[in-house]
Structure 1
Amino acid sequence: MNKTGVKICGLQSVEVLKSMVNLPVDYIGFVFADSKRRIDGVQAGELLRVLDEWTSGSSPRSVGVFVNPGDALLNDVMEKAPLDVIQLHGQESPERCREIREYFGLQVFKAWSVDSQGQRERSADELAAYVGTIDALLLDTYDPLYGGGSGKTFAWDRIPAYQAWTHQHGIPLFVAGGLTVDNAEKLVHEYHPEGLDVSSGVETNGVKDIAKITAFVERVKQA
Structure 2
Amino acid sequence: MKIAVKVCGITERGTLEQMKELEVDYIGLLLAPSKRRVTPSQAGELAGFLRSEARGFPLGAARSVGVFVNPSREELAETLAAAPLDVVQLHGEEPPELCRWAADTLGVEVIKALPLAAAGEGGSEADTLAERIARYAGSVHAVLLDTHDPVYGGGSGKRFAWERIPEAQEAARQAGIRLLVAGGLSPDNVGRLLDSYTPDGVDVSSGLETDGRKDADKIKRFVERVKQA
Q: TM-score range by the shorter chain?
A: over 0.9
Is there any run of 5+ residues in structure 2 with no aligned partner, and where? none
Distance, in Å, in 2 between the alignment partners of 1:211 and 1:153 is 22
Distance, in Å, in 2 between the alignment partners of 1:137 and 1:25 is 19
Distance, in Å, in 2 between the alignment partners of 1:36 and 1:136 is 25
Q: Which residue in 2 is equivalent to 1:189?
A: 195
TM-score by length of 1: 0.95
Structure 1 residue 145 corresponds to structure 2 residue 147: no
Matches for 1:1-223 after TM superposition, within 5 Å: 2-51=1-50, 52=52, 53=55, 55-56=57-58, 58-116=60-118, 117=121, 119-121=123-125, 122-123=127-128, 124-223=130-229
Displacement, 1:220? 0.7
Moved more, 115-124 or 186-195: 115-124
Contact 2:10 2:36 (C-alpha < 8 Å) held by counterparts: yes
Displacement, 1:73? 2.1
RMSD over aligned Cα atoms: 1.4
Query: What are the Cα deviations for residues 202-222 of structure 1, in whole angstroms up to 9, with x where unaligned?
Result: 000110111110110011111
Please state whether the residue corresponding to 2:58 is helix, strand or coil.
Answer: coil
Query: What are the Cα deviations for residues 35-66 of structure 1, in whole angstroms up to 9, with x where unaligned?
Result: 00000111112112321235117520111000
Please state whether the residue corresponding to 1:151 is helix, strand or coil.
Answer: coil
Query: What are the Cα deviations for residues 9-34 of structure 1, in whole angstroms up to 9, with x where unaligned?
Result: 01001111111111100000000000
Hey, which bits of structure 1, 4+ residues long, moved more than 6 A?
none
Contact 1:5 1:194 (C-alpha < 8 Å) held by counterparts: yes
Displacement, 1:72? 3.0
How many residue pairs match? The answer is 222
Contact 1:18 1:50 (C-alpha < 8 Å) held by counterparts: no
Displacement, 1:94? 1.1
Contact 2:73 2:98 (C-alpha < 8 Å) held by counterparts: no
For residue 216 of structure 2, what is the amino acid of its counterpart? I
Distance, in Å, in 2 between the alignment partners of 1:126 and 1:175 is 15
For residue 7 of structure 1, what is the amino acid of its counterpart? K
Distance verdict in 2 for CA 1:54–1:11, change over 3 Å: farther
Query: What are the Cα deviations for residues 126-149 of structure 1, in whole angstroms up to 9, with x where unaligned?
Result: 432211001001000011111111
TM-score by length of 2: 0.92
Distance, in Å, in 2 between the alignment partners of 1:197 and 1:54 is 25
Distance, in Å, in 2 between the alignment partners of 1:60 and 1:199 is 16
Moved more, 122-131 or 38-47: 122-131
Distance, in Å, in 2 between the alignment partners of 1:167 and 1:152 is 26
Please state whether the residue corresponding to 1:131 is helix, strand or coil.
Answer: coil
Identity of aligned residues (%): 51
Distance verdict in 2 for CA 1:153–1:54, change over 3 Å: farther
